[in-house]
Amino acid sequence: MRSLIIGAAGFVGAYLIRHLHQELGHQTAVTKLPHEQIRPECCDLDIYNLDILDADAVFRLLQKVHPDYIFHLAAQSSVAAAWKNPGITVDINVHGVVNVLEAVRKLEFRTRILLVGSGEEYGLVQPDEIPVSEENRICPGNIYAATKACQNMLGKIYARAYGLEVIMVRAFNHIGPNQEPLFVVADFCRQVAWIEAGRQDAHMHVGNLEVKRDFTDVRDVVRAYAMLAESGESGETYNVGSGSAVSIAHILQMILNKSEANIMVETDPSRLRPVDLPVIEANIYKLQKITGWKPLIGLEQTVEETLDYWRQRAKADR
Ligand code: A2R
């Protein structure tokens, strides 16, 4: 099997490379932006520079690689950055995906394309809609979410109108070592590691601890992506999450329990969002029915390994 991961230099890309290339034995080609580096470094990985905004370059690359599967991860993936730069977010997340779909259409390939969207697409979910299923109405509440909802619609249209093999996922919060500390678990682990190493005073800054979110280890997430690329139905959307929401307070306590340091938790008003949904939880019936997927790595293990990762960074970055 020949797989192409577009946007492989990010958080998820490293884990997807490991899974496809090292565990499933796919012949794997990956793309990155010129300034980025691909990890892990495997000698027989085909690495290409690609800006998905360059339609001709996307076409030429696909023509050359002719993959059985495309995993489209390339994105402007930050909600905060999308508010600051809406134009470029729309370009990358919408125009970029059109470039990929158009290239496959023009080449008349039977490539199966997995488009990675987000649980954010659902937006304001009512309490009686939890756990949220794929049929729920979508009501994106921010620019990032709107671009991912648009990507989803485009994928569906290319599948229906042109018969392309396109599978869409809506990924909920995924976590693990190596994630940017823009995301809550990585941020908490980094702060604890920094306090332990004497690089931050004993005050830990937190936002709203009451909200509940659906967290999945990134290694389980990439297994679900590979299974869906293989057996997902074209034109369909699948939630990828654990199916069970936990409060941020619970995660914080889990992390604090793993530390001997004397830490004082402080609410930082700048971390509170104007609109915070009380609970986001995925209904994963559709994913499980078609793939039999189950998360294998528990929250406790992910948190432990993420904290270890940041403890090592606290030493190494000195
Ligand atoms: O923004 P950068 O420099 O970190 O690069 C990101 C890259 N990327 C692009 N690749 C090709 N052409 C572009 N015009 C372009 N703009 C950005 O896509 C980054 O290396 C990669 C996405 O990786 P992350 O931002 O780390 O996202 P992550 O966590 O791996 O999530 C993968 C997918 C994304 O579609 C998210 O929106 C979704 O899962 O949750």
**Ligand 1: nearest atom to the Cα of 52:** 12
Residues 242 and 257: their CA atoms lie apart, in Å, by 23
Give the pLDDT of residue 149: 98
Model confidence at 55: pLDDT above 90? yes
Work out whether the CA dihedral 225, 229, 232, 238 comes out positive or negative.
positive
Distance (Å, rounded) from C-alpha 47 to C-alpha 54? 17
Tell me what pLDDT residue 44 has: 85
pLDDT in tens, 58-113: 999 999 999 999 999 999 999 889 999 999 999 999 999 999 999 999 999 999 99
Query: pLDDT of 130-173, one tens digit each?
Result: 999 999 999 999 999 999 999 999 999 999 999 999 999 999 99
16 token code pair:
């997807």
Q: Is the pLDDT of residue 318 over 70?
A: no
Mutation probe of ligand 1 site: the residue of 62, 73, 183 with most atoms within 8 A of C-beta: 73
What atom of ligand 1 comes closest to residue 13's alpha carbon?
30
Tell which atom from ligand 1 comes closest to the C-alpha of 72: 35
Whole-number Å distance between alpha carbons of 144 and 139:
12
Residue 91 beta carbon below 6 angstroms from any ligand 1 atom:
no
The pLDDT value given to residue 162: 98
Atom of ligand 1 nearest to the CA of 51: 12
Prediction pTM value: 0.96
Position 274 scores a pLDDT of 67
d(CA 171, CA 121): 10
Ligand 1 geometric centre to CA of 77 (Å): 6
pLDDT of amino acid 277: 77
57 in ligand 1 pocket by Cβ < 6 Å?
A: no
Give mean pLDDT, residues 214-230.
98
Distance CA 318, CA 313 (A): 8
Query: How far is the C-alpha of 180 from the C-alpha of 178, rounded, in Å?
Result: 7
| Amino acid 69: pLDDT | 98
Taking the centre of ligand 1 as the mean of its atom positions, its distance from the CA of residue 12, in whole angstroms, is 9
Which mutation among 77, 91, 170 tests ligand 1's pocket best, with the greatest number of atoms within 8 A of CB? Answer: 77
Ligand 1 centroid, distance to 127 Cα (angstroms): 31
pLDDT attached to residue 43: 66
